[in-house]
Each structure stands twice: as structure tokens, then as C-alpha cells.
Structure 1
Amino acid sequence: MRRSGLAFGGFCAVSAALSSSAALAQDGGVRIVFGLENRLEISRNDRLAVPAGGTNIRDETRLSLGLSSSREIDQLEFSASGALIAENGTDGPGTQFTFGREAIDLTYHREIPAAVFDFGASYRNDDVDEFDDDLTGIDETGTRTDTGLSTRLETGRTSSVGFALGASYRSTDYQDTTDPDLNDSTEVTADVAMILHASEVATGRVGLRFSRLDEDDLATTRTDTRTAYAALDYSLSERLDLAAEIGYVESEVEELGVIDRTTGPDLSLGLTYDMPVGTALALFRITTDADEGQRETFEIGRDLETPAATISARLGVTHADVGGTDLIGRLQIGYALPDGALGLTLERGTSYDDEPVTTSRAAINWSKSVNELSSISLDLSYELRDAASERIEQVSFGAGYQHKLTADWALDTGVGYRIRNDGDGHAESPTLFVSISRSFDFRP
């Protein structure tokens, strides 16, 4: 079931306790965090269906475990969570009891002056529509399981010549879905590079990248992508830095035994300038994709941070062989108030999903501390996905109240409302939730 706005509040409280364990573990040693949350949520037409669906009641008890270890040369982070779910709604008769929303993450980082080693592993099983905020997946049913492994090694950091090697594996499996476009897939990537430390202001790289994507669709599609590149990072002055990469990419897509080959450039040129407050940047990029063809993008940007505000702005233009020319950009503003915070986001982008797609989003969020124990918050967003096949508009509103019951227990409650217009018609979905959570942490 997809949630909206501040309906995520209770879970965020537990997640924050886990994610903050890394920062708190910087003092050294091992830190363990246990999290407990019970959340009751009532929503109507939670999948924004047309015609409208019924009322869904869900009670979710989530347990979580986080472990962090920080030493002089390495850091380890581990987290695991799962939930016991009781649900009475439109997916089946009566009340259903399940254990789900399993998630496991492991990261390890080891660094010495001459080398760096990273390893990561992840596992997640949840409802399909909980994995992303793509507007097209609002009514998807079934479950999805993601598994991932990654590792990277860089050596010779104190020598004139070094090497970097990396590899990753990712699989996605679907169960009990109704959308024929949701297909199981596996992706394997590998890269190797030689790093040339020419001087204190210049670093060069020469390398190869490879990826293979296998999709379990009717055509048993396999996509191989190979890229050869050379890159340079150079400090032109004390304030101006240059990052350039020139590459050549070759993609082979095999469907039903027929191979379609695409070749072209893959290059980027970026400049970053340190200003008295923040930085200014410019980026030019050319990419080649097997489906979309060649795309050229140029962006300028500005990042600055003051005691009262943080601003990040990007404005650019992009052109693709298939979709033509579009304006893109992003503006994010965070403003600290005397007793709260105010945030604003405006963004417009383009992508390719069997056809050119333009996405736009505007969001504003506000929070205020009522007193030392309580706070309130408001969220409002507008999203637009515009494609030739369908135009989707969605407005989401959320209002929440947070209260610290004791030093360890927290109460989070709120309401949400979503309005959607798409090819099927007009849909609305109200939501009400209340949750109580606690985290326990100690150092063994």
C-alpha cells in the first residue's frame, strides 16, 4: 500500500535512530540500537483506483536492529528490520496476518593511506508500490524482492600509479503481480581503472566498464554495455577545478536471438568554482543509450549555505534523438526558522520509458516546535508525469503532530489526502494514522 506525505512519520522516527548510529559511533567502539514501532493506519481507496476502492485498515508492528562499529581504519554498519502486519481491506476477505517489509543492509569501509576497500550487501522484500514514487505504479499489486552485493578496491593511492577494481550484483524478483511489464531481472557490473597521480593538482584515469542486464520477459532480453574511457581531474587555480571524461560506449540488446548494436560517445566536462559563499558549477554531458539514442545535456548550478538557509539550484537544457529538446532544472531551498524549518523544492526533468517522459514536481514543507515536547508539520506537493500515452497529475497533502511522551517513547499522528487525475479518471484517497515508537541503544 502506498503512503503519502506525513504518513511516513512513525517509520522515519525509527529509521532516524538507526541511520544516526553511524555518526554516534564515531566516538569509537560498538553501538547497538533496537527499535520498536506500532502503527495503525486507516485509508480509503489507497491505490487511487477508478472506480474508488473500499476502506483499508492496517496495524503494523515493526522491529528493527542497528549495529555500528567505528575504529581508526574501518567502519561497519548493519541494520535489519521486519514487521508483523494485520490488515483488513480490499485485497481479501477478513483480516490477514503476514510478516513482511523485511530489510537488511550491511556496509563495510576500510581505509589506510595506500588503499581503500568497500563492501556492501542489501536485501529488501516489500509491496511493489513501496519501492519508488513513480506515478505510474500507484495501483501495482504483489511483492518485490531486491538483493544486492557490491565491492570496490583502490590501491596505490600514495604512489604515482594506482588501480581501482569494482563489481556489483543486483537482482529483482516479483511475486503475485498483475502487471505484465514487471519482469524479474539480474544485473552484473564490473569496472577496472588505472589511476595516474601526475601531481598534486592533476589526476588521470584510464579504464573499462561492463554491465549485463538479463530480463525474464517474453523476449528474454539481454543487454550488454561496454565503455572505454579516459578521465582527468585538474585544479586550474586555487578556486577553479576541472573534471573531464571522454569515453566510447557499445551496447548490444538481444531479443529472441536478434542482436541490435548501438555505439556512440560517452563524455562529460565539468567546472566547479569556489565562491566566497558556496560554489558555482557548469556541466556538459553526452550519453548514448540503446533505447533512447544519443542525449546532450548542459547545466549550470549554484550551491550556497548560510546560517539561515541552504540553497541548491540547477538550470539546463537537454536534447535527445527521440525526445527532442527540453528545459530541465531543480531548485531546493531550506530555511531555518526560529522555532522550525521551511523547505521548497521545484524540479523538472526528462527520461525515457518506452517513450519520452517529462516529469515536474513542486513541494513545500513546514515544521514548527510547539514546545519542548511537541511539534507540528505540513507537507504539500504537486507532481506531473507527461507522456504521449498518458498524462498523470497528483496532489498530496499531509499534516502531522509529533509528541515526545517520555525520554524514550514518541507519539506520531497525522492525516493525508491525495488527488489524482490520469487516463482512468479522477481519484481521491484520505488517510489517518497514529503510531507509537521507542528505540533502545547501548554499547556492549
Structure 2
Amino acid sequence: MCMRSGLVGALAVGATPGFAQDGGIQTTFGIAQSIEGVRNPALAIPAEDADIAATTTLSYSIVSETRTQLFRFGADSSFRIEYDDDDELIGEFEAPTLTFGYTRAGATSSFSASARFLREEIDSAPDFSDFVTDDGILEIPDDFTDLSGTGRRTGYTVASILTLGRDRPLGFEFEIGTSGVLYEDVTDPDLTDVTNVSARVGTLLRFSDVLSGRLSYGYSLTEEDDTAETVRRTQSIGAGLTYNLSPRSTFDIGIGAEQTETEVTTGTSEVDGLTGRLGYRQVMPNGDLTAVLDASRDVAGDLLLEFRLGRSLALPTGTLAVSVGATRPDGDDPAFIGTVDYTYILPDQRILLRLDRSVTIDLEDDIRRRTLLGAFYSYDINRFSSLSLGISHIVAEESDAAGRVERTDLTGSYSYALTADWDLSAGFAYSVRDEEAVGEADSSLISISLSREFTSRR
């Protein structure tokens, strides 16, 4: 198991400056060698014995930026050597990651494409930075409560969007994407493959400088490799209006309809229903005020209502974003939801705090309640060394037999610049996972690594 940063990486994503900010092309090649001691990486019950492993990691990235376009590509993988259960020395490649992004903007059009591929061992502690969107939002996957035991997890996403006629009386928007989570040799029977392909086409209507409209049609195909061999096809249509009440305030309204056809081994069923959205945004001197009422449908066609009131603030030494609200799945009691994100930045220190409470409906029509609390602190001791600490706690409650799962991760690291090119770092990680009706398991890790990056710009 490679050294994991838990929520540390997730919280830090939004604060990391982009490469090649002044334009041009930048390429970076990295190499790292680490030695790790880890106990019970699979969070098994009873606990597994401690083990020592050596891991070599190679990484490569390229960023090209001009006035109208941005291209990013990154790849990394590790080669791990350790003893197996028969005390034989083995080596294998693990955790290959590929990322791609491209954006191009014209006077009245734009195009963007992105892709991400990640394959990792399930008995490696989940790195929450893997679940962070490009906007710095942490999205916990539906399989989080089942990520224990052994096996391999592969996740991928590909998406693209083309906009034509932006800010013109008539414009068009085309969007297509695919995603999936695949498993190999897993010990947990609840982990099943899920793939999705979706497409959307929209028409943009600009009636005046203050009033615009939109029409859209979307199609989605989801396939699950479960015992019922579930195939789900969803079609949706929608219409909406956006009105600028003033230069600083905007009102948005939308209404639509959705139809879902579910095919399983025992037959086919079909559900449909209306959807809608009301939104308001006020630009204020030091941030934004937002209010959103959203009505959506789950896979069973039941209505899901959600209301959020949000406020973002630009502070002298950071930012604060707060949203509070409630959601009500059809036939269930209203539940509180909300998010707090706080960033405090000084020249030599950084503090990030995140609190998130969400309620969603998964593909099995089960209600999932998630509560996340995370904190990260970093300190530049001097120009040669730095220290970082992070802690995260997640509670996942399911309406099905999975029950309640709690997980806590504590991480820390110290880095020292041996030379202008070489860095030495040492770190630790401790994780505790408590699953209802299963029991509690913990895992610990210590590591030391030597790394270097080779960077060129032109």
C-alpha cells in the first residue's frame, strides 16, 4: 500500500496553483522511492500481520497553455516489491493513473474534454483526493461502505461539451460522457460493475440582454453486472428561463419530465414524472448569496425535493463558503443537509476545514446519508522543511442491509529539501473502520521516501 494522504489531498486540491500560468509548455518527470511498513492494509477482521514493502513511483505531466486553449496530461504508476503469504518475494505494478484535460474558448463558442482513469488495490486505504472533482468538490462513491477486503477497483470517466453561439440569439450545446467502476477478484460480493453512457443536446435562446431561455433533451444508459443483470435507460426533456433582475441578481426557473425504463432478468418496468428547479443568485461585495429549490426523480420514479441556501465570503486571509438546507426523499422524513468550507492562508501556513452532510438515492433505490468532517494543516518551517497534518471522519448510513459504517483517517508528514532537486519525506497514516454487525478494524502505516522532479519550460 502506498503512502496515503486521506482527506489531506482532497482538501488541498482546490488550493493548488495551476502549472504554466504564464503560458507556454511545461513538462515534469518525477521519480520517488519509498519504504513502507504497514499493518492490516485490508482493514480485515481479524487483523493481518505487518509487512514491509518497497515502492518505486514514476510520474509524468505536460501542460500547454495559450490565450485561447489549455491542454493537460498526466500519468503515473508504481512498482511494488513485497513478500506474499508464502514468504516469497514478489513484484507488481499498481495504481496506474491517467488524466487528460483540454479546453478551447472562442468569441462565441467553447469546447472542453476531460478523462480520468485509476486502477488501485482495494486493500489500499482509499485516497479521498481520488474522489475530488475538478471544482474541488469531494464526491464519495456509492461503493464507499463496501471498500474493504481485497481485490482491484478500476474507475474511469470521460466527458466532453461543445457550445456554439454563446451570447448569440440562438445557440446550441452538445454534451457526451461515459463513466464506470469495475472490480476484479474482490472478496466482497456487494461490489458489482457499473457502467454509464450519457448524452445531452440543448438549445440556447437569448431573448434580450436580461432574459434567456434553454431547451434540452438527455439520454442515459446504465448497466449493472449484478444478479438481476440490470439495464436502465433514462430519457429527459427540459425547458428553463434565466432573468437578470439587476446587474447583481439572477433568477432561474426550469421544468422538465423524466422517463426511466428498467430491465432485469424477471421483466421490464417503466416510471416517469415531472422535475423542476428554482434558483436565485445575488452577487455581493464580498461574495455570493444563493438559494436553490430542486425537484428530481430517483431510479424508482419517486420525487426527491432539496432546498439549499448558500453564502460565500472572500476573507482577508482566506475564504468561507456555507450552505444549509433540507432534502426529502419521497415517503421519508425531511433530512438536514449542508456544507461548510473554510480556507485560512498565511505566507507560511495553511488551514483547511470541511464539513459536509448529504442525503442521496443510489442505483439500488436505497437512501444514503453521508457526514464528512475533515481538517488539514500545513506549515513551512523554513525554506528547507515543511510539516503537514490531516484528519478526516466519515459516517455513512444506508437504508439497506449495509447499515452504518464509520471511518477515521489520521495522517502526517514531514519533508526536507536535501538539495535543490532532492526531497526526503517521512510520514504516517492510521485508519479505523467500524461497520455495524461486522466489527471494528484498524490499520497503520509508516513510510520514508526520496523523490525528485525534473521540470522543463519553453
Equivalence for 1:193: 202
Equivalence for 2:411: 398
Q: Per the alignment, do residues 6 and 123 of structure 1 end up closer, same or farther by CA in structure 2, a change over 3 Å counting?
A: closer
- Aligned 1:160-175 pairs, distance under 5 A: 160-175=169-184
Counterpart of 2:265 (choices 247, 256, 263) is 256
Equivalence for 1:37: 32
* Alpha carbons 1:292, 1:320 under 8 Å: kept: no
* Alpha carbons 1:34, 1:63 under 8 Å: kept: yes
CA distance in 1, matches of 2:8, 2:308: 33
CA distance in 2, matches of 1:267, 1:111: 30
CA distance in 2, matches of 1:255, 1:2: 40
Equivalence for 1:346: 355
* Alpha carbons 2:3, 2:447 under 8 Å: kept: no
* Alpha carbons 2:8, 2:376 under 8 Å: kept: no
CA distance in 2, matches of 1:385, 1:12: 19
Question: Residues 364-411 of structure 1, C-alpha deviation per residue, up to 9 Å, x if partnerless?
Answer: 222222222112222223221223532222232222212222222222
How far is 1:3 from its partner? Answer: 6.0
How far is 1:58 from its partner? Answer: 2.6
Q: Does 1:115 align with 2:124?
A: no
How far is 1:236 from its partner? Answer: 0.8
**3-state SS, counterpart of residue 25 of structure 1:** coil
Moved more, 73-82 or 221-230: 73-82
Q: Per the alignment, do residues 118 and 411 of structure 1 end up closer, same or farther by CA in structure 2, a change over 3 Å counting?
A: same
* Alpha carbons 2:340, 2:354 under 8 Å: kept: yes
CA distance in 2, matches of 1:25, 1:5: 26
CA distance in 2, matches of 1:218, 1:298: 36
Moved more, 167-176 or 219-228: 167-176
CA distance in 1, matches of 2:213, 2:149: 46
Q: Does 1:54 align with 2:49?
A: yes
Counterpart of 1:425 (choices 439, 447, 454) is 439
How far is 1:93 from its partner? Answer: 4.1
Counterpart of 1:71 (choices 66, 73, 82) is 66
* Alpha carbons 2:273, 2:301 under 8 Å: kept: no
Equivalence for 1:308: 317
Q: Does 1:410 align with 2:423?
A: yes
Equivalence for 2:251: 242
CA distance in 1, matches of 2:144, 2:262: 27
Question: Residues 343-362 of structure 1, C-alpha deviation per residue, up to 9 Å, x if partnerless?
Answer: 22222221234432322122
CA distance in 2, matches of 1:65, 1:201: 46
How far is 1:238 from its partner? Answer: 2.0
* Alpha carbons 2:8, 2:390 under 8 Å: kept: no
**3-state SS, counterpart of residue 24 of structure 1:** coil
Q: Per the alignment, do residues 239 and 107 of structure 1 end up closer, same or farther by CA in structure 2, a change over 3 Å counting?
A: same
Question: Residues 309-330 of structure 1, C-alpha deviation per residue, up to 9 Å, x if partnerless?
Answer: 3111111111011543111111
* Alpha carbons 1:312, 1:331 under 8 Å: kept: yes
Equivalence for 1:82: 77
CA distance in 2, matches of 1:173, 1:394: 23
Moved more, 333-342 or 213-222: 333-342
CA distance in 1, matches of 2:176, 2:393: 38
How far is 1:8 from its partner? Answer: 7.3
Equivalence for 1:369: 380
CA distance in 2, matches of 1:415, 1:433: 6
* Alpha carbons 2:381, 2:387 under 8 Å: kept: yes
Equivalence for 1:441: 455
Unaligned runs of 5+ in 2: 132-139
Moved more, 305-314 or 137-146: 137-146
Q: Per the alignment, do residues 109 and 341 of structure 1 end up closer, same or farther by CA in structure 2, a change over 3 Å counting?
A: closer
- Aligned 1:1-12 pairs, distance under 5 A: 1=1, 4-5=4-5
CA distance in 1, matches of 2:229, 2:2: 30
CA distance in 1, matches of 2:310, 2:8: 31
Question: Residues 189-243 of structure 1, C-alpha deviation per residue, up to 9 Å, x if partnerless?
Answer: 1111111122222221101011001222222211011110012222111221122
Q: CA RMSD in A?
A: 2.7
**3-state SS, counterpart of residue 27 of structure 1:** coil
CA distance in 1, matches of 2:226, 2:76: 31
- Aligned 1:199-348 pairs, distance under 5 A: 199-256=208-265, 258-291=267-300, 293-337=302-346, 339-348=348-357
Q: Per the alignment, do residues 436 and 242 of structure 1 end up closer, same or farther by CA in structure 2, a change over 3 Å counting?
A: farther
**3-state SS, counterpart of residue 136 of structure 1:** helix
How far is 1:144 from its partner? Answer: 2.8
Counterpart of 2:368 (choices 339, 351, 357) is 357
Counterpart of 1:95 (choices 69, 89, 94) is 89
Equivalence for 2:135: none
How high is the TM-score relative to the length of structure 1?
0.90
How high is the TM-score relative to the length of structure 2?
0.87
**3-state SS, counterpart of residue 26 of structure 2:** strand
Q: Per the alignment, do residues 225 and 292 of structure 1 end up closer, same or farther by CA in structure 2, a change over 3 Å counting?
A: closer
**3-state SS, counterpart of residue 41 of structure 2:** coil
Unaligned runs of 5+ in 1: none
* Alpha carbons 1:196, 1:203 under 8 Å: kept: yes
**3-state SS, counterpart of residue 145 of structure 2:** helix
